[in-house]
Structure 1
């Protein structure tokens, strides 16, 4: 009987820990990227999260060079950012 009670508890715990990773593109994800790559200074100075300027700075922080043209700043670009950040 104890095993039957333990299984749902373990499943619930697994779901909660998996949910702690912010969804790519969400406000929480934008904040995570901003903190990890030091886009802003933590005092509200810097480009607005998700703006074109912000995305260009993220690109610079990831690759060490300015983009030759504005980065797309779309969902596909954010997915690439997420993959690149996982390598660090």
Structure 2
């Protein structure tokens, strides 16, 4: 019992120092394509909307271009996949990351 009481402050300190996940933008979970093929027009549109690559007038790099891929990398910041931007592995990592972010919290 004494060990439990002694370790409680440490556990509280570790919990307080844990990073808080970044909340997904409102409505993102509902707009995630259920079965969109990676690299498809629907998938690119979803990633574009989710990360806000294009502005409200639709101005921005062409989806899937090298410039667009770099914009996705910048928006993801430290969470950005380390694989070659635009590659199938990169797309899979971006998809998994955005779906995790978009998962509704309980």
TM-score by length of 1: 0.65
Change beyond 3 A, Cα 1:86–1:27: same
Q: Following TM superposition, by how much is the alpha carbon of 1:43 offset from its aligned partner in structure 2, in angstroms?
A: 1.3
Higher relative contact order (CA 8 A, sep 6+): 2
Structure 1: runs of 5+ lacking an equivalent: 1-18
What is the CA–CA distance in structure 2 between the aligned matches of 1:64 and 1:40, rounded to whole Å? 21
* Partner in structure 2 of residue 31 of structure 1: 45
* Partner in structure 1 of residue 12 of structure 2: none
Deviations 1:20-69 (A, max 9, x none): 43111101000000000000013121100000000001011112599xxx
* Partner in structure 2 of residue 78 of structure 1: 91
* Partner in structure 2 of residue 46 of structure 1: 60
Structure 2: runs of 5+ lacking an equivalent: 1-32, 102-106
What is the CA–CA distance in structure 1 between the aligned matches of 2:79 and 2:93, rounded to whole Å? 16
Q: Alignment length, in residue pairs?
A: 66
